[in-house]
Amino acid sequence: SAVISQKPSRDICQRGTSLTIQCQVDSQVTMMFWYRQQPGQSLTLIATANQGSEATYESGFVIDKFPISRPNLTFSTLTVSNMSPEDSSIYLCSVEVPGYYGYTFGSGTRLTVV
Partner 1 sequence: GENVEQHPSTLSVQEGDSAVIKCTYSDSASNYFPWYKQELGKRPQLIIDIRSNVGEKKDQRIAVTLNKTAKHFSLHITETQPEDSAVYFCAAHFRGGNEKLTFGTGTRLTIIP
Pick the closer one to partner 1 by CB: 13 or 31: 31
Residues from 26 through 85 that contact partner 1 (CB under 8 A): 31, 33, 41-45, 48
Q: Decide: is 11 part of the binding site for partner 1 (CB under 8 A).
A: no
Selection from 76, 72, 86 nearest residue 114 by Cα = 86
Q: 64 with 81: CB under 8 angstroms?
A: yes
To 5 degrees, how large is the angle CA 60–CA 10–CA 75? 70
Distance CA 83, CA 65 (A): 9
Contact region for partner 1 (CB under 8 A) — 13-21, 65-73, 79-87, 88-96? 88-96
- The separation between the first and the last C-alpha atoms of the chain, rounded to the nearest angstrom, is 36
Segment interacting with partner 1 (CB under 8 A) among 12-20, 60-68, 71-79, 90-98? 90-98
92 binds partner 1 (CB under 8 A): yes
By CB under 8 A, name the binding residues for partner 1. 1, 31, 33, 41-45, 48, 92, 94, 96, 101-108
